[in-house]
Amino acid sequence: MGNLRGPAVLALAVCLTPMGAAAQLSPSEAGFVSSALDARYGVMLEPPSSESLLRDHAHGVVDEVRRQLSQNGALSADVLSEAQHLQRERYSLLEPKDRELLDAALSLRLGGFSVAGPGVSATLPAAAPVPPAALAPPDFATFLQGVRADAAKDAVPQAVLDDALTGLTEDPKVLADENSQPEHTITFEQYLSEVVSDKRVAQGKSEVSQYSATLAKVSAAYNVPAASIVAIWGMESNYGPNQGEMQVVRSLATLAYAGKRPSYFRGELIAALHILAKEHMSAKDLKGSWAGALGQPQFMPSTYLKLAVDFDGDGRADIWNSVADVTASIANYFANAGWDKSEGWGTEVTLPAGFDQSSASLSVVKSVADWQAAGVKPLAGGALPAGALSASIIRPSGPGGRAFLVLSNFRVVMRYNNSTYYATAGGLLADRIKAQ
C-alpha cells in the first residue's frame, strides 16, 4: 500500500471504543491490518471497514487458540498475550462460542497454585479443562447452515440457496492460492514491461477503434476518457479472456469458512447469492477468480451489485460478455470514486538536485505551481498540468527512480487497485493508447 499504509493503520488504531476508551491496535493487529489493506482480491467499492478487519483478526486468534489447546493443552506466550488483548478490547466482536473458548483458555492460567500470607494460606482449585465442544471448530455443513439462515433473512430466494449451497464442498486450491500470494518482488520497470507492453498498447488501440461508438457514449455518460477505461480493461482481464474459471460461490464459501478474512468473504458470498437471484444464474455458471472477482472488470460481488451497469439495455449488467456493460461499469466505478474530467492523471517529471525524498509521498500535497517553483520540471517533451491543481510526487521504484507528478485522478485509479505500481501503469497505458 506504499505511502498510504501508515495513515490507514493509524486511522484504525482508535476505531473501536469499548468501555468508553479508545482501543489501540496490538502489534499483531497492526500487522494484520497492513497485510489486509495490501491484499489484492478483486475490485472493491470501499476499503474494508475497521470492524471487519478487527473481527477477522480476532477470528484468526481464536482459531490459533483452539489449535494450540487441542495440540498442546497450553498457549504460547504470544498467543496468550493476543488472547488477553481480545478479551480486554475486542470481546464484543467474538461469537458466543468463541467467547466461551477464550474465557476457558485464559482461566487455565489461574488454577492450581497456592497463595500465602501472614497466618493465611490458600490453594486455588485447578481450572477445569476447556470443554471439548469449545475446542471443536464448526464443520463446513454447520457453517453453510448459518449462511443459509443469514441469506434467507436477506431475501435470497430458497431456490437459489438450494442450487448454490446443497452439496457444496470446500475447495483446497482456493486456500492454497490465498496462502501463496506473492509479495512485491519485481521492480517497477519489470512491472511496466509486463503491464504496459507494446502488445497490450496495440490491442488497446485496436479496441478503441473497434468500439469507438460505444466508448464515445460511455465516456460522455460518465465523463471518463475512453483511453483510461480501456487501459483498466486491459490490465484487469487483457481485454476479456482472463476472467478466471473457478466457481465463485465455492471459492467464497471456502474463504468465508477457512480463509484469513472470513467476515469480509461471508459478506461477498451473500452478495454472490444475490447476483444469482438477480441474473437468474445457476451457481455452476458463475465463474471468476480464486477470490471471487467477477468478469472482465474483476469486480467483487458487492461491487457488482452496486456499480455494474446494463449499458446495452438488454436487461442484464453483463460484465462477462458485453463490451458496453464492461466499459460502462469501469467508468461508473471511476465516476463514483470521484473522477474529475477536467484533470488528467499526472505526468512524468524530473526532480531538482537535492530533492527531499520524504516529499515523494502521496501524503504530501501541494499545488502544481508550488512543485514547479521547487524545481520540478516535466520530462522532455511533456508539460506540467495547470498550476492551481493539487498534486503529489511519487517514485514507485524508490529514491533515484523515475518520478511522477500525480493528480487527484491517480487516487481514483488507486481506489480500483490500491497500488502505486498499478495506478502509474494505468496512467501510462492510457497515455500510450490515446497517442496517435
User: Among the options 236, 245, 268, 348, which is catalytic?
Assistant: 236
Separation CA 364–CA 358 (nearest Å): 9
Each residue's pLDDT expressed in tens, for the chain with a length of 436 residues: 333 344 444 444 444 433 333 468 899 999 998 888 878 899 998 888 888 999 999 999 999 999 998 888 888 999 999 999 999 999 999 988 899 889 888 886 544 444 455 665 554 444 556 767 777 778 999 999 999 999 999 999 999 999 999 999 999 999 999 988 766 678 999 999 999 999 999 999 999 999 999 999 999 999 999 999 999 999 999 999 999 999 999 999 999 999 999 999 999 999 999 999 999 999 999 999 999 999 999 999 999 999 999 999 999 999 999 999 999 999 999 999 999 999 999 999 999 999 999 999 999 999 999 999 999 999 987 889 999 999 999 999 999 999 999 999 999 999 999 899 999 999 999 999 999 6
Residue 320 · residue 284 · CB < 8 Å: no
Q: Other C-beta atoms within 10 Å of 78: how many? A: 11
Q: Which DSSP string do the residues of 322-369 spell out, in sequence order?
A: -HHHHHHHHHHHHHHHT--TT---EEEEE--TT--GGGSSTT--EEHH
Three-class SS of residue 15?
Answer: coil
For residue 322, what is its C-alpha cell? 458485453
Amino acid sitting at position 372: Q
Q: Which of 307, 386, 292, 373 is nearest to 347 (CA)?
A: 386
Handedness of CA 51, 287, 423, 207 (dihedral sign): negative
Residue 37 · residue 29 · CB < 8 Å: no
Separation CA 410–CA 420 (nearest Å): 9
Separation CA 404–CA 424 (nearest Å): 8
Is residue 194 among the annotated active site residues?
no
Ordered by start, the domain boundaries in the chain are 2-111+128-137, 141-179+242-337, 188-236, 346-406
Q: Which of 375, 345, 346 is nearest to 359 (CA)?
A: 375
Classified by CATH at the fold level, domain 141-179+242-337 comes out as Helicase, Ruva Protein; domain 3 (1.10.8)
Separation CA 136–CA 142 (nearest Å): 12
